[in-house]
Amino acid sequence: MREEKAGFADVDALTELRLDYLIEDNGSLDHDDAETIRNTLPGYFREHLNKDLFAYVIREDGIIVSCAFLLIMMKPMSPAFINGRTATVLNVYTRPAYRRRGCARMIMDAMMADAKERNIDVIELKATEDGYDLYRSVGFEDDCMKYHLMKWKAQRKACRK
């Protein structure tokens, strides 16, 4: 097994791995949502891959068995991110047959080394219970802050037939 960055030839595989991740994370996906993701995600990857989104993968016999995404953003500078370069880890996923072989650790190590070279000040992620110990072991800490994590979500309107 070897770690590398994904390229445009990997867009279809990354799309399927993203769907696998979302299904496992959510328990299921609405059929229409899954089709929307399957149809639009390749275009997103073609526009962003290796620009502000980096996909780290592990291959075995030419097949991607594990992946993770690093989304890099520029923000107005602050003491928390002095050069404004921040990133978010997304979609850390290993195919079930390849789990517990160190794939996620290999990817995270490569990602962290790359982030240092790119002068990323802060990397954020949301950890599941399964991933928490791994992320702690590679240097992530619980983010205890005076702010409340909140989000706004647009309500989708039901389609009329």
Q: Kindly tell me the burial class for residue 32, based on how many C-beta atoms sit within 10 Å of its own C-beta (0-12, 13-18, 19 or more).
A: exposed
Q: Is the model's pLDDT at 90 over the cut of 90?
A: yes
Confidence of residue 149 (pLDDT cuts 50, 70, 90): confident
Q: Is the model's pLDDT at 139 over the cut of 90?
A: yes
* Domain 2-137 superfamily per CATH: Gcn5-related N-acetyltransferase (GNAT) (3.40.630.30)
In tens, the pLDDT along 97-138 reads 999 999 999 999 999 999 999 999 999 999 999 899 999 999
Local structure of 106: helix, strand or coil: helix
**pLDDT for the residue 157:** 60
Q: pTM for the complete prediction?
A: 0.89
Q: Is the model's pLDDT at 159 over the cut of 70?
A: no
**pLDDT for the residue 93:** 96
Report whether 71 contacts 53 (CB < 8 A): yes
Percent of the chain scoring above 70 in pLDDT: 96
Type and span of the H or E element at 115: helix 103-117
Tell me which of 155 and 123 has the higher pLDDT. 123
**pLDDT for the residue 161:** 45
Percent of the chain scoring above 90 in pLDDT: 82
Average pLDDT over residues 46-67: 96
